[in-house]
């Protein structure tokens, strides 16, 4: 686990990877309805006036707020639509979650050196999180692309077929129709987003947990993991929302030529607050995701601890 505070024994990379993938997948299953609502809110463009006449009232946005968005999706498309993208989401967490968390401790140890004694500096924790996030998402980007495309597709008119029948069909069609390289569409903002958020999540969880364990009466238990997980989720959303919005828009709409083009057009057309569109569902999702993931991870990793020999 990030920090390994108070752990006894050692965990192999295979053990860390497996425990991380299990914890990440469980958190994904629990929170993907919030992620679907977040993606829909981010992709929703600012609505223009309903008619050319000056006295016409502007149309209201289709999705309004976390609960409203979830209710609209469930009402129009069925409750199962809230779990759109779960298959590529689990593909993503097995690869991305397993690598970014599983590599964190080895990379952090590499940055501080074998002879380091005492607490690891926060800068090294941030560097380790940034590195593992960038490496992991560079490999897992196709799963993220497919997940966003499936989530972005709303209710269709009668007789209009869906672009993709499922995750495997989406992988195949994108590669066949747009080229294999298209599976890495949005890689730039995705690397930026995931490297930043991973650094924020893992470094803040590590740091908050380390700080809490120094306080009287606290120990390495569920309460500590709960507070550290919430802190990690909040900080990650604060620093990662702008790149998250750009990533979702680029993956959901092919009209943008580049990361910079998407950023400039979003700023020009929708204003700076657009970069924090869906902030509350994003925090609700990431906050709950981090709590569930870290609580699960701390427990699952105990199964992989290799006790130190005396």
Top pLDDT among 19 and 260 is at 19
Q: Which long-range contacts (CB under 8 A, 24 or more apart) does 249-257 make?
A: 249/42, 249/43, 250/185, 250/186, 250/189, 251/144, 251/145, 251/148, 251/149, 251/152, 251/185, 251/186, 251/190, 252/39, 252/43, 252/148, 252/149, 252/152, 253/43, 254/185
Q: What share of the chain has pLDDT > 90, as a percent?
A: 43
pLDDT value at residue 49:
32
Q: How confident is the model at residue 181 (pLDDT cuts 50, 70, 90)?
A: very high
Least trusted range by pLDDT, from 101-105, 140-144, 188-192, 208-212: 188-192
Q: How confident is the model at residue 129 (pLDDT cuts 50, 70, 90)?
A: very high
- State pLDDT tens for residues 191-225: 988 898 899 999 999 999 999 999 998 999 999 99
- State pLDDT tens for residues 269-285: 889 888 887 677 678 77
Q: Using an 8 Å Cβ cutoff, are 22 and 296 in contact?
A: yes
d(C-alpha 260, C-alpha 91), whole Å: 28
- Contacts for 252 with CB less than 8 Å, ≥ 6 apart: 39, 43, 148, 149, 152
């Amino acid at each position: 686990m990030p920090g390994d505070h108070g752990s006894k024994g050692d965990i192999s990379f295979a053990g860390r990877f497996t425990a991380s993938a299990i914890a990440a997948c469980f958190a994904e299953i629990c929170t993907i309805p919030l992620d679907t609502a977040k993606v829909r809110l981010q992709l929703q463009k600012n609505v223009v006036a309903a008619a050319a006449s000056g006295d016409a009232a502007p149309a209201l946005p289709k999705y309004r707020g976390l609960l409203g968005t979830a209710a609209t999706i469930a009402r129009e498309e069925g409750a199962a639509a809230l779990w759109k993208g779960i298959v590529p989401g689990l593909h993503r967490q097995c690869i991305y979650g397993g690598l970014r968390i599983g590599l964190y401790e080895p990379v952090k140890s590499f940055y501080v050196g074998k002879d380091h004694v005492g607490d690891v500096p926060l800068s090294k924790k941030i560097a380790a999180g940034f590195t593992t996030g960038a490496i992991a998402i560079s490999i897992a980007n196709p799963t993220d692309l497919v997940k966003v495309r499936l989530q972005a597709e709303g209710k269709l008119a009668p007789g209009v077929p869906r672009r993709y029948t499922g995750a495997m069909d989406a992988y195949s069609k994108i590669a066949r129709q747009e080229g294999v390289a298209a599976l890495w569409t949005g890689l730039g903002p995705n690397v930026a987003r995931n490297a930043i958020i991973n650094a924020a999540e893992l470094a803040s969880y590590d740091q908050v947990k380390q700080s809490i364990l120094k306080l009287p009466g606290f120990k390495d238990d569920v309460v500590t993991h709960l507070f550290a997980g919430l802190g990690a989720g909040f900080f990650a959303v604060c620093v990662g929302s702008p790149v998250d919005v750009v990533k979702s828009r680029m993956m959901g709409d092919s009209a943008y030529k580049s990361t910079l083009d998407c950023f400039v057009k979003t700023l020009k057309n929708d204003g700076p607050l657009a970069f924090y569109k869906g902030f509350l569902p994003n925090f609700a999702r990431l906050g709950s995701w981090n709590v569930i993931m870290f609580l699960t991870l701390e427990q699952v990793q105990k199964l992989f601890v290799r006790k130190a020999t005396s």
